[in-house]
């Protein structure tokens, strides 16, 4: 038998679901690690995990994991995506399910988590908390048993499947909106760098901007959410604590799975509707991007040094 042959021709989402279901229900160390990766409260008791849960008439949760932290109960609603696009309003349905679990006192807090290849995680505009296939693969590889190495290989095959087959589909109406946004940004703040939007998928909702003098900081206008975020990448926990204590009263600190942001509220903007009718809102959002940028520059010695 050729040892170079792949153990399976193609990994499907359901294969990853079953790997996770087994780990959550039989491996407490994995569950503790996963909860920590999601920046959720520390696990003290594993209650269990279930697959394909349909509650409240709001679609399906791929994996529901429930656990205790001290005396409080927490639920992780996990969406597993390999190579399919999000369904319309899929993330919003996750949020509504989370709200219903809280209203029915099924838990004290509920988190919506995406599991997908890293490329997918970085190119979606919904889930702010995620654990990539690559991160899961490295975890199994680190443990090093024959079983864990096999699972690591399956996750690598899944990630490669996305990279080989990913072809973004352009949405002309959304691209037209983004192009108008890009032109306005260049007119108002030409020193903020933003890629020209040549191919824009329908669900693309977070224009991304950078300032070359602020390494590892990305600015997002999260259009439909009504947020402007300055997201900090690859900063230490000590620096995170320092920044959290520096933010002004009108700025909110937000912790993501791998990063953290400082956030200001703006008007919601609909990328599917006429740009000119929303231009005033967009100008305000861009002004708030500049506000966060200037705040970071004013504290650059504290924030970016050391």
CATH of residue 271: 3.90.1150
Task: Let me know if residue 268 belongs to a domain.
Answer: yes
The reported pLDDT for the residue numbered 213 is 92
Q: Tell whether 145 and 22 lie within a shared domain.
A: yes
CA distance 14 to 154: 12
Handedness of CA 51, 164, 155, 35 (dihedral sign): negative
The reported pLDDT for the residue numbered 83 is 73
Give the domain-ending residue among 165, 200, 224: 165
The reported pLDDT for the residue numbered 5 is 46
- Dig out the tokens for 252 from the structure: 């909110």
- For residue 127, give the nearest of 157, 161, 93 by alpha carbon: 93
Task: Let me know if residue 1 belongs to a domain.
Answer: no
CA distance 90 to 113: 12
CA angle, residues 275, 206, 266, in degrees to nearest 5: 70
* Number of structural domains the chain divides into: 2
The reported pLDDT for the residue numbered 127 is 87
Q: Tell whether 130 and 225 lie within a shared domain.
A: no
Q: Tell whether 152 and 250 lie within a shared domain.
A: no
The reported pLDDT for the residue numbered 87 is 78
Q: Tell whether 284 and 241 lie within a shared domain.
A: yes
The reported pLDDT for the residue numbered 56 is 80
Task: Let me know if residue 7 belongs to a domain.
Answer: no
Task: Let me know if residue 8 belongs to a domain.
Answer: no
Q: Tell whether 131 and 229 lie within a shared domain.
A: no
Query: Domain containing 278: what range?
Result: 172-303
The reported pLDDT for the residue numbered 303 is 76
Q: Tell whether 33 and 148 lie within a shared domain.
A: yes
Task: Let me know if residue 4 belongs to a domain.
Answer: no
Q: Tell whether 116 and 145 lie within a shared domain.
A: yes
The reported pLDDT for the residue numbered 8 is 63
Task: Let me know if residue 89 belongs to a domain.
Answer: yes
Residues of the chain with pLDDT under 70: 1-9, 161-168, 305-306
- State if pTM tops 0.75: no
Q: Tell whether 130 and 232 lie within a shared domain.
A: no
Give the domain-ending residue among 126, 144, 165: 165
Q: Tell whether 87 and 219 lie within a shared domain.
A: no
Give the domain-ending residue among 120, 149, 165: 165
The reported pLDDT for the residue numbered 168 is 63
Q: Tell whether 155 and 19 lie within a shared domain.
A: yes
Q: Tell whether 85 and 109 lie within a shared domain.
A: yes
Task: Let me know if residue 90 belongs to a domain.
Answer: yes
Residue with tokens 């990448």: 233
Q: Tell whether 132 and 261 lie within a shared domain.
A: no
């Amino acid at each position: 038998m050729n040892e170079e042959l792949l153990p399976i021709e193609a990994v499907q989402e359901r294969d990853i679901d079953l790997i996770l279901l087994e780990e959550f229900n039989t491996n407490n160390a994995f569950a503790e690690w996963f909860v920590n990766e999601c920046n959720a409260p520390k696990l003290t008791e594993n209650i269990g995990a279930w697959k394909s849960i349909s509650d409240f008439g709001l679609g399906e949760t791929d994996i529901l994991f429930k656990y205790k932290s001290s005396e409080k109960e927490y639920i992780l609603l996990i969406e597993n995506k390999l190579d399919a696009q999000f369904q319309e309003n899929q993330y919003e349905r996750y949020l509504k399910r989370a709200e219903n679990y809280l209203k029915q006192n099924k838990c004290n807090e509920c988190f919506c988590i995406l599991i997908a290849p890293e490329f997918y995680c970085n190119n979606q505009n919904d889930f702010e908390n995620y654990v990539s296939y690559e991160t899961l693969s490295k975890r199994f590889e680190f443990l090093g048993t024959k079983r864990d190495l096999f699972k690591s290989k399956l996750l690598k095959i899944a990630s490669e499947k996305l990279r080989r087959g990913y072809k973004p589909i352009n949405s002309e109406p959304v691209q037209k909106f983004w192009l108008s946004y890009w032109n306005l940004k260049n007119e108002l703040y030409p020193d903020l760098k933003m890629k020209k939007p040549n191919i824009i998928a329908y669900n693309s909702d977070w224009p991304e901007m950078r300032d070359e003098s602020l390494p590892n900081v990305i600015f997002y206008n999260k259009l439909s959410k009504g947020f402007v975020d300055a997201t900090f990448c690859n900063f230490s926990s000590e620096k995170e604590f320092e920044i959290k204590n520096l933010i002004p009263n009108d700025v909110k600190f937000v912790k993501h799975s791998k990063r953290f942001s400082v956030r200001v509220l703006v008007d919601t903007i609909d990328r599917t509707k006429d740009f000119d009718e929303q231009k005033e809102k967009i100008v305000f959002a861009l002004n708030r991007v500049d506000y966060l940028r200037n705040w970071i520059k004013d504290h650059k010695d504290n924030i970016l040094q050391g």
